[in-house]
Amino acid sequence: MTFLLTVYTLWQRELVRFYRVPSRWFGAVGTALLFWVFLGSGFGGADGRAFFFPGTIVMSMMFSCLFATASIIEDRQAGFLQSVMVAPVSRAAIVMGKILGGATLATLQGLLILVFAGSVGATFEFSAALGLVASLFLISFVVTAMGFWLAWTIDSVPGFHAIMNMVLLTLWMASGAIFTVSSTSWLRTFMTINPFTYGVAGVRRGLFPSAAMDQVPGLSTSLWVLLGFAVFFYLLSSLVVEKTRERK
């Protein structure tokens, strides 16, 4: 019961903090939509925008996760997390609460962009739509957990942003958001082990369930792979918090 209460409290705090800074959401959504309109048009008008739309959603969520995890450094510097750490609560619950808060906000942001899905010919079927929402949440969880792990090991907010931007943009560009399959063998291998590949694939399959996508991972495969990455990065983040506790 204490575990769930801790998770809920930190999750709620993330939502309240976001509500007080709406510019965060506007900036992330606006940047992604500008990429979609201009870069998508460069890939061939309406068809280019349709192809680029799933990547746009993931990009917007990626920025939201980035902002959410940067707050971990601010919380540590302000002393909030130190206060939470000395409380008689599970460290794993602290990690889960922070990650769930960021993942929830990013998922809501992705759902907001779905307002434009009709303009690219997306069709919604019940099972595919459920898979779409699950893909949005899982890729958000993965990115937030990844960011939590890195933020816990870095004391500089600018340094964190520099590293995370480099990592996330690399993963996003090699995810199938811009091209489906590369002819370069090492890049194909990288795409196979890239969690963003399965996030973009899950969103693409959910938006266009009837389209022929032989080179795109299936929806169920994408969900299972994303779940595996989510568990991995959650455990990694929990471990780094526990090690910090042991050193102290």
* Structural domain boundaries enclosing 51: 2-247
Confidence category of residue 12, pLDDT binned at 50, 70, 90: confident
Residue whose token pair is 């870069």: 39
CA distance 172 to 176: 8
> Is residue 145 scored above 50 in pLDDT?
yes
The CA distances from residue 108 to 25, 29, 84, 89, 172, in Å, are: 10, 11, 27, 28, 19
> Is residue 246 scored above 50 in pLDDT?
no
Contacts of 37 (CB under 8 A, 6+ apart): 49
Question: Which tokens sit at 88?
Answer: 């008689």
168 or 71, greater pLDDT? 168
39 or 103, greater pLDDT? 103
CA distance 79 to 236: 23
Instruction: Name the residue among 162, 150, 200, 161 with its Cα closest to residue 180.
Output: 200
Confidence category of residue 32, pLDDT binned at 50, 70, 90: low
Q: For 171-225, write each residue's pLDDT tens digit.
A: 998 888 887 766 678 888 899 999 999 999 999 999 998 887 878 888 999 999 9
pLDDT, mean of residues 92-102 = 90
> Is residue 127 scored above 70 in pLDDT?
yes
> Is residue 23 scored above 70 in pLDDT?
no
DSSP designation for 179:
-
Confidence category of residue 39, pLDDT binned at 50, 70, 90: low
Contacts of 45 (CB under 8 A, 6+ apart): none
pLDDT, mean of residues 135-154 = 93
Enumerate the H helices of the chain as residue ranges.
2-20, 23-42, 45-78, 80-85, 91-113, 126-153, 157-173, 185-192, 195-207, 219-247
> Is residue 125 scored above 90 in pLDDT?
no
DSSP string, 110-171: HHHHGGGGGGGT----HHHHHHHHHHHHHHHHHHHHHHHHHHHH---HHHHHHHHHHHHHHH
pTM above 0.75, yes or no: yes
Q: Is 153 exposed, middle or buried (0-12, 13-18, 19+ CB in 10 A)?
A: exposed
CA distance 160 to 99: 17
Domain count, the chain: 1
Confidence category of residue 109, pLDDT binned at 50, 70, 90: confident
